[in-house]
C-alpha cells in the first residue's frame, strides 16, 4: 500500500519523493513519499505533529524542503515555484475573507489581486458565486454568513485562477454538521470539473466520505497508502457483534460467537454494554449460525449485526495514536 516510486507518471498531479524537513534537531518530514492522481481527492491523515501541514506548505512552495523532490501540476516545487503557484490553490484551516466586504466584493478583490482586471474579476466572481451556491447572498457582508457559507466563500477565493491542484488543510475545522456537508458538496463539485484535491483532515469520517485514496503519515513518513476500502481490509475483515438483553447470558453468547470467530480468536466481552464481538471470515454464514444458536438456547438479543472496520480503527492500528494526539515529531 506504499506510495508509487521514483518517476512521476503522466496521471500524477502531485508527486513527492523522499521529502525531508528539519526544525532544529527534530525531523518534521523524514523521507515522505506521496503520489496523487489527477482528478481525485487524496486524503492526508496523521496524528498532530506527524508532518501533514509541513508537507502541504512544501508542496505549495511556502517552505523549501531540506531534501528530496516534489512535482506539482508538472512543475518542480524547488526549481519552478512560480510555475507551481500559477497552477495551485490553497485554503487553510480558517476562512481568510474580509468580513466587512460582501461575498461578491471579496471575490472581485481576489481577482484584482491576481491581476485579472476589473471586468474579468467581476465575471469570475459571478461564476464562482453560482458554482458554490452563494449567488443569492452575493451582496451581503461576509460577517452575516454562516460558518459553512464563509468556508465556501474561502474555497471560491482559492479557485479564482481555476487551479489544477487545490490544497485543503483541515477545511471543516469548527463547522457544524450542516456546514461540513456544504463544504463536502463544494469539494465534490470541484473534482467533477477536473480539479485535484489534496485534503488534510482530523475527521476520519470526512476522509472516508471524500477521499478516493488516503495516505497515512506518522513521524514524517508515509506508512500506508490506499483506498479507504483497502486500508480497512488491511486491518481485518468483518466483525460480528451481539448485544444481549440480560448480562447473565453473556457467557453463553460468547460461547456461540467463539464457534464462528476467525482463526479461533477469543471474543471480546463488554459487560457494561452487554456486548460480545469477534472477527469472522464468512460474515453471512457466521451471523446465520449465531442467530440460530441464540434462538435455540433462548438467549434474548437486543441487537446483532455485522460491522466493518472503521478508519478510526485503521488509524489507531497503524499509528498507535488517535487523531488528536501528538507524536514526538515536531508539531507540523
Instruction: Determine, yes or no, domain membership for 329.
Output: no
31 and 78 both lie in a single domain = yes
223 and 247 both lie in a single domain = no
228-244 pLDDT per residue, tens: 988 887 776 788 999 99
How many domains does the chain fold into?
A: 2
Instruction: Determine, yes or no, domain membership for 131.
Output: yes
138 and 280 both lie in a single domain = no
pLDDT at 114: 86
Range of the domain at 289: 238-308
Instruction: Determine, yes or no, domain membership for 2.
Output: no
pLDDT at 238: 82
Take residue 313 and report the three cell numbers written for it. 480503527
Q: Where are the beta strands (DSSP E) in the chain?
A: 12-23, 26-37, 41-45, 67-72, 75-76, 88-91, 165-169, 196-200, 213-218, 221-226, 239-244, 268-270, 275-279, 301-307
CATH number, domain with residue 43? 3.40.50.300
Instruction: Determine, yes or no, domain membership for 219.
Output: yes
Report the interhelical angle of 177-192 vs 147-158 (nearest 10°).
20
CATH number, domain with residue 279? 3.30.70.100
Please, which residues have CB within 8 angstroms of residue 205's CB and are 6 or more apart in sequence? 311
163-185 pLDDT per residue, tens: 899 999 888 877 788 878 888 88
99 and 152 both lie in a single domain = yes
Please, which residues have CB within 8 angstroms of residue 127's CB and are 6 or more apart in sequence? none
pLDDT at 7: 45
Which of 291, 313, 311 has the alpha carbon at shortest distance from 300?
A: 291
42 and 179 both lie in a single domain = yes
Instruction: Determine, yes or no, domain membership for 5.
Output: no
61 and 21 both lie in a single domain = yes
pLDDT at 280: 87
Q: How far is 112 from 107, CA to CA, in rounded Å?
A: 9
pLDDT at 104: 96
17-49 pLDDT per residue, tens: 999 999 998 999 999 999 999 999 999 999 888
140 and 80 both lie in a single domain = yes
Instruction: Determine, yes or no, domain membership for 27.
Output: yes
45 and 104 both lie in a single domain = yes
112 and 253 both lie in a single domain = no
243 and 227 both lie in a single domain = no
Please tell me whether residue 264 adopts helix, strand or coil conformation.
helix
136 and 43 both lie in a single domain = yes
Q: How far is 128 from 143, CA to CA, in rounded Å?
A: 19
63 and 205 both lie in a single domain = yes
Q: What is the pTM of this model?
A: 0.76
Question: For the chain, which ranges sit under pLDDT 70?
Answer: 1-10, 94-95, 236, 264, 321-332
Amino acid at each position: 500500500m506504499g506510495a508509487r516510486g521514483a518517476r512521476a507518471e503522466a496521471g500524477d498531479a502531485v508527486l513527492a519523493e523522499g521529502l525531508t524537513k528539519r526544525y532544529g534537531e527534530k525531523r518534521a518530514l523524514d523521507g515522505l513519499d506521496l503520489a496523487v492522481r489527477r482528478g481525485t481527492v487524496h486524503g492526508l491523515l496523521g496524528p498532530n505533529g506527524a508532518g501533514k501541514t509541513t508537507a502541504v506548505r512544501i508542496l505549495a512552495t511556502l517552505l523549501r524542503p531540506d531534501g528530496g523532490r516534489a512535482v506539482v501540476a508538472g512543475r518542480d516545487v524547488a526549481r519552478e515555484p512560480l510555475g507551481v503557484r500559477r497552477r495551485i490553490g490553497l485554503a487553510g484551516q480558517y476562512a481568510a475573507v474580509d468580513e466587512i466586504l460582501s461575498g461578491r466584493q471579496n471575490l472581485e478583490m481576489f481577482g484584482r489581486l491576481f491581476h485579472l482586471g476589473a471586468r474579468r474579476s467581476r465575471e469570475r466572481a459571478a461564476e464562482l458565486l453560482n458554482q458554490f451556491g452563494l449567488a443569492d447572498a452575493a451582496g451581503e457582508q461576509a460577517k452575516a454568513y454562516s460558518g459553512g457559507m464563509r468556508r465556501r466563500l474561502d474555497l471560491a477565493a482559492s479557485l479564482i485562477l481555476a487551479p489544477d491542484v487545490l490544497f485543503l488543510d483541515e477545511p471543516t475545522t469548527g463547522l457544524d454538521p450542516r456546514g461540513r456537508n456544504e463544504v463536502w458538496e463544494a469539494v465534490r463539485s470541484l473534482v467533477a470539473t477536473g480539479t485535484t484535491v489534496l485534503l488534510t483532515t482530523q475527521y476520519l469520517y470526512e476522509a472516508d466520505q471524500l477521499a478516493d485514496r488516503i495516505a497515512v503519515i506518522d513521524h514524517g513518513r508515509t506508512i500506508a497508502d490506499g483506498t479507504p476500502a483497502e486500508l480497512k481490509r488491511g486491518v481485518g475483515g468483518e466483525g460480528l457483534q451481539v448485544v444481549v438483553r440480560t448480562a447473565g447470558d453473556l457467557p453463553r453468547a460468547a460461547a456461540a460467537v467463539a464457534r464462528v470467530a476467525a482463526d479461533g480468536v477469543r471474543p471480546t466481552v463488554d459487560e457494561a454494554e452487554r456486548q460480545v464481538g469477534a472477527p469472522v471470515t464468512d460474515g453471512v454464514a457466521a451471523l446465520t449460525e449465531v442467530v440460530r444458536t441464540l434462538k435455540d438456547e433462548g438467549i434474548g438479543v437486543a441487537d446483532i449485526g455485522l460491522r466493518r472496520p472503521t478508519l478510526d480503527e485503521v488509524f489507531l492500528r497503524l499509528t498507535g495514536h488517535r487523531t488528536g494526539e501528538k507524536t514526538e515529531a515536531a508539531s507540523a
